[in-house]
Amino acid sequence: MSRLMVADFYYGAVLSMLFNNGIEPALIDANENRQVYDFITNQGECRFFVKYRADKQNTKKSDYSSWVFNLSADIDKLQQYIDEGFNLNLALVCGAANLVESELVVLDKEQISQILNLEKTSITISRKKGEKAYRIPTEGGRESGIKVKYKRFEELFN
């Protein structure tokens, strides 16, 4: 009997979203910490670099969610894809104990470059309940951070 890994559920969720939008991705790189897919949308070719976190950070506020993603093993590969001119998107699956409360954050190439320029090995993604954007703190706090649209995934297919 084949055993499923936790990663299979999160990467499978992204694949399901792609398939449900009529996209047939090609897996080009994979390990337990990331998967990379190429596919074509109405807007052209796209490379999806996918990572996941299975659980939210514990926060003191119930209307606030955050996830920490370690990028140290991925920095060189992300920079390589940007340098090679790929239409790169970083898809971050933000898991929750109740799986249907999990979220998908999609960063575009410019946002990825901003993060790489910070020279950090990890990033924190956060969102307040009802807010229409995620935030990645850069200097100071989340108010001065990078804003990422809440429904960026849907924009890829319009």
Closest among 101, 78, 87, 75 to 13, alpha carbons compared: 101
- What total number of domains does the chain contain? 1
pLDDT at 62: 72
Identify whether 44 is part of a domain.
yes
The whole-angstrom separation of Cα 123 and Cα 77 is 16
Cα dihedral: 133, 135, 140, 144 (round 10): -40
Identify whether 75 is part of a domain.
yes
Identify whether 102 is part of a domain.
yes
Identify whether 52 is part of a domain.
yes
CATH of the domain at 68: 3.40.1350.10
Band (142; pLDDT cuts 50, 70, 90)? low
Domain membership of residue 145 as a residue range:
6-155
The whole-angstrom separation of Cα 45 and Cα 92 is 19
Band (65; pLDDT cuts 50, 70, 90)? confident
Identify whether 103 is part of a domain.
yes
Report the pLDDT averaged over residues 139-146: 75
DSSP 48-111: EEEEEESSPPP-S-TTEEEEEEE-TTTHHHHHHHHHTT--EEEEEEE--SSGGG-EEEEE-HHH
Identify whether 1 is part of a domain.
no
Report the pLDDT averaged over residues 90-114: 92
CA distances from 91 to 43, 98, 100 (A): 17, 20, 17
Identify whether 147 is part of a domain.
yes
Q: What percent of the chain has pLDDT over 90?
A: 55
Residue 72: burial class (beta carbons within 10 Å; 0-12, 13-18, 19+): exposed
